[in-house]
Copies of this chain bind each other. A is one copy, B any other.
């Protein structure tokens, strides 16, 4: 499952470095908020600074790093606000993508997607509620809907940019989203709406689906904050500190 489906396999050195850096950032091996040192990483990946710069430039495109003139690039910070902003944006974009998918998906694509859901159902039956389905399967489902919109703008923004940020947040915040069974039912109904060519309903369901995830996260965060406050009542000290 590649990031950008409309592009052939990467070949250039900058591509490799980009993919490695992307993975390292998403998985947290390069800390969120930390500075990107061009000379250091150029040595580590054994490439020139020019190609590393090109790789960084592409990281900027997925909003994984931010650059400032004459200062350098930093990995984006994972804040709660940023995560909620991301989900709100997803709600808007994927909702519309879902509406478009209901209008533009070919019958064959719909059959494929139903088959995929069947497979998810089996996997779910085997190891009930465990991570695998949610981590890969959920993304696969959303991915297929987005592609089904046949809207290049939506596809670029969602698959090319937000997708990676979302993965980063999921890794950093350790979200294995225990909504598996609920999510599965929701996916199922969304597909039904698409198959019925009911764009309006499809959009509503997708928006609810993502909004439910967001609210789930909000609740979790609120809970964590409460615990944190409680445990810090005795020893009021360390907030998380900025890397570097």
Majority secondary structure of chain A interface residues (helix, strand, loop or mixed): helix
- For chain A, the count of residues having a C-beta within 8 Å of the partner chain is 35
Is there contact, CB below 8 Å, between B96 and A92? yes
CB contact list, A96-116 vs B, under 8 A = 96, 100
Q: Can you list, as one digit per residue, whether each of A35-49 has a CB less than 8 Å from chain B (1) or not (0)?
A: 000000000000000
Least CB distance from A10 to B in Å reads 7
Chain A stretch 189-244: residues in CB contact (< 8 A) with chain B: 244
B contact residues around A154 at 8 Å (CB): 85, 88-89, 92
| Interface stretch of the complex, out of A55-63, A124-132, A137-145, A171-179 | A55-63
Q: Which residue of the partner chain, among B60, B88, B151, B162, contacts A61 with CB atoms under 8 Å?
A: B60
**Residue of B whose beta carbon sits closest to that of A82:** B152
Q: A63-B153, A92-B95, A157-B161 are in contact. List 4 more A-B contacts (CB 8 A).
A: A6-B244, A53-B54, A88-B100, A153-B162
